[in-house]
Amino acid sequence: MKWSIKQLVETKPWAGWVLFFITSVFVFILGLLASSIIERRAEAQFVYTLKVEYDPLEPRSDIWGQNFPKEYYSYIQTADTTFKSLFNVSDDEDLLESNPKFVILFAGNPFSRDYNHARGHFYAVIDVVKTLRTGAPNDTTPSPQPNTCWTCKSSDVPRLINKLGVQGFYKGSFDKLGHECVNYIGCVDCHDAKTMNLKITRPALIEAFQRLGKDINKSSHQEMRSLVCAQCHVEYFFDNRDGKEKYLTFPWDSGFTVEAMERYYDAFAFSDWKHAISKAPMLKAQHTEYEMFLFGVHYRSGLACADCHMPYKSEGGVKYTDHHITSPLRYISRTCQVCHRESEEELRNRIYERQKTIKELRNILENELVIAHFEAKHAWDIGSNEKEMQPVLQLIRQAQWRWDFVACGHGNAFHAPLESARILGNGIAKVQEARRQLQRIFAKYNNFDVKIPDISTKEKAQKAIGIDYEKLKRDKQEFMKNMVPKWLEKAKEREAKYYIKNV
């Protein structure tokens, strides 16, 4: 027999109260849900309501942060340097200390004096100021580096380029704009102040696209989420041709591969420095993360840099981009596991296996290069001439360019493991050919007595190439004590130019 609700209530009066109670609870829950939805929508609608106005070129991120507090407070977490992965750290670890072979590989280049692991955007200004590579300028002695070195270090750069012009900004030594570049990388470097759309603020990237026949302004939003990173995380050089002075240039005219950029440089016999041991004309790779990313599976799958290094985050009714720019391994649940269903441990181990393989190939090439540089020196010492040495030095140049192209980008073993392995394997073949040719030179002069000094520590390696590290450090400390306070005092004089007013 089937009972209707009416019959149930008529025959059992208590059932009416039960139904009333259940209905009341259900309505109450629906009310709470509706209230939560309305509140979250209101929060999402008003969270970015403009609170202050500021100059479109305002370099101080804390000013922008009054309008965008969630993004700003996540961004200043980049000050945290505690994260470590298998091989990389977020602190300024001394890479010359941990791998003295770098001193030999960069002999004659400022990287043989000082080479620390990058700490990230929050420390960009202080780290470029304190590194021994920028020297110890004073009132009479300029820095050995150009103003161009500030390009990727400070949010003051867009303002200065607007004020001085592109070539005007690049012109002069590094210390000339020290009092102007006091704000670390920030909001204005990547965003339009009015619309908050992603924006390219560094001319070198725009100019590189123009030479490739591309209009960067037609890039999609997803492309821009990588291109704002490509303003700095790329290979570059300082061009002095055609009346230019230390003009920041990306060598992409022939393509993005290691070979294409090598052809670009070879076309006008460019070299960053002459190696102090082998005398080879060397190329110094910078930070090739973007170029290598283009050859990886994540790029081919449509991902951008921000998808992994700045994943989305939800708080209340607001979804926003987490500006704590860091390794994807730090928050695997919000990065890798968005697409991959394996456990965190499985994903982490899979990445580490790739990194171990690339590290093994790197070590082989590093060891071969160190020996090749000293063998080339021996060839010169026993009387070899320019004609004999030219093909050897070219091979050493090519081999180290390939090593550095992979090694200089700390994420390259993850971004493009197959391309990294291909490049390193090619570099190993080239350096081994260089060493075979050197053996023939030794045979010609009947002298195989190659001397390689003890380079087991940073101190011994630097001593072997004539670096007085303690003097360089003392000079830098004196600079930090005397000149930097003057820069900061000058910086205070122009702060009034930037304004903030309540809306």
Flag whether 220 is in a domain. Answer: no
Flag whether 18 is in a domain. Answer: yes
Which residues form the domain of 37?
Answer: 5-46
pTM listed for this prediction: 0.89
Flag whether 24 is in a domain. Answer: yes
Burial class (CB in 10 A: 0-12, 13-18, 19+), 382: middle
Beta bridge partners of 54: 500
Burial class (CB in 10 A: 0-12, 13-18, 19+), 76: middle
Flag whether 118 is in a domain. Answer: no
Q: What is the dihedral of CA 472, 477, 483, 485, to 10 degrees?
A: 160
Flag whether 30 is in a domain. Answer: yes
Flag whether 13 is in a domain. Answer: yes
Flag whether 9 is in a domain. Answer: yes
Q: How many domains would you assign to the chain?
A: 1
Flag whether 25 is in a domain. Answer: yes
Note down pLDDT in tens along the chain; length 503 residues: 455 655 655 665 665 555 566 777 666 666 655 554 444 444 444 455 678 888 999 999 999 999 999 999 999 999 999 999 998 888 889 999 999 999 999 999 999 999 999 888 999 999 999 999 999 998 889 999 999 999 999 999 999 999 999 999 999 999 999 999 999 999 999 999 989 999 999 999 999 999 999 999 999 999 999 999 999 999 999 999 998 999 999 999 999 999 999 999 999 999 999 999 999 999 999 999 999 999 999 999 999 999 999 999 988 778 899 999 999 999 999 999 999 999 999 999 999 999 999 999 999 999 999 999 999 999 999 999 999 999 999 999 999 999 999 999 989 999 999 999 999 999 999 999 999 999 999 999 999 999 999 999 999 999 999 999 999 999 999 999 999 999 988 888 766 455 444 43
Q: What is the dihedral of CA 105, 108, 110, 111, to 10 degrees?
A: 0
